[in-house]
A = this chain, B = another copy of it.
Amino acid sequence: MKIALDVMGGDFAPQNPMGGVKLALEELRQIDKIYLVGQPEAIEREMRAQGIPMSDRLEIVSAMQIVDMSDSGLDAVRKKKDSSITRAVDLVKEGKADAVVSAGHTGAAVTASLIKLRTLPHIERPAIAAIMPSMTMPWVLIDAGANPDSLPEHLVQNAIMGSAYAKHVLGRDNPKVGLMSNGTEEEKGNALCKETGKLLKKTPGLNFVGNVEGHDLWETPPDVVVCDGFTGNIILKTSEALAHAMFAMIKEGIMSTTRTKIGGMLAKPAFKAIHKKTSADEAGGMPLLGLNGITIISHGSASAYAMKNALRMACETIRHSLNPHIEAAIGVHLDNNASAGEEEG
């Protein structure tokens, strides 16, 4: 497997992406090559600093421009043709790499992937699938932020893609698909949600279980939760922020007296396990589904450990040949629509 890594993307670049490379070279033997895309001098300096020797599993690909957070996604791609994200996506487009991984500007990664790789047939827009933690098992939140304005048919495509990911990559049998709403009752929802619910009910091959609400997400989530990218991004970030805040408050509370300090020290193993369970670092990245290619988007603040996990996610997505499965599932949906149309007509 060959992966193109946007070494300059993220709040702690190039340090953390290269830290991820170091871990991945040891742990992920299935990786034949990582293309290190970015400013060669900065990459080489970081390799020296972290003691990463050059090998035939690494290849530096020059990209001199850097995307700023103030750039729009489209500008980043159109005006910065020599940026690390556009060059990295080019490697996938040219067939040199099987997947691209970036912790940089999400809009730029989405736009570069969309323009250069294009979507799979009959997929109108790619969607970000976030692998979310819960008390029981991880679940797929789709769309976690690619399309803030979605139409019902986009959400149906999200459901099909998310279901394919849950089945073929996460290994879920007949994955349950829920529709994000403000209540579990069928009449709850905004206009987009209600219209989508009607379509999902008649989508073949989907195990649609109806509306889910915020209360369901942590205890008994379905395998896949479908929503527009505005709502999904808010769920993702609110959850991350709250989990982070809870740990910060617990730490502060525990440090306040000698008694609680000792208690905290003894209880530490319990906290560590929960921190691991709720941390976005474990998934490491989020696949951008619906592309004619594989793009994994990582958190801007991703640690070296998270970057390694994002590289692992790229490997998993390659290994399970996800895209042909998505194409097949969309095909079933279209055939059904066509025959339904004939019956109606």
Tell me if A248 is interfacial: C-beta within 8 Å of chain B: yes
> Distance (Å) between the CB of A8 and the closest chain B CB?
20
Question: Contact flags (1/0) for A112-155 with B, using CB distance below 8 Å?
Answer: 00000000000000000000001100000000010011000000
* Residues in chain B near residue A53, CB distance under 8 A: none
Tell me if A23 is interfacial: C-beta within 8 Å of chain B: no
Residue in contact with A238 in the complex, picked from B188, B189, B214, B268, CB distance below 8 Å: B214
| Contact present for A260 and B256 (CB under 8 Å) | no
A190-B230, A230-B182, A239-B238 known; A246 vs B278 contact (CB < 8 Å)? yes
> How many residues from A make CB contacts under 8 Å with B?
67
* Residues in chain B near residue A270, CB distance under 8 A: 250, 253-254, 256-257, 260, 263-264
Tell me if A49 is interfacial: C-beta within 8 Å of chain B: no
| Bound-state Cα–Cα, A178 to B34, Å | 42
> Distance (Å) between the CB of A292 and the closest chain B CB?
25
| Bound-state Cα–Cα, A231 to B190, Å | 9
* Residues in chain B near residue A264, CB distance under 8 A: 263, 266-267, 270
Between-chain CB contacts (< 8 Å), 30 pairs: A70-B185, A134-B245, A135-B249, A145-B182, A148-B182, A148-B189, A149-B190, A149-B191, A180-B234, A181-B230, A182-B234, A190-B228, A217-B242, A218-B245, A219-B245, A230-B231, A231-B234, A246-B246, A250-B250, A250-B270, A250-B274, A254-B270, A260-B267, A262-B263, A263-B263, A263-B265, A263-B267, A263-B268, A264-B266, A264-B270
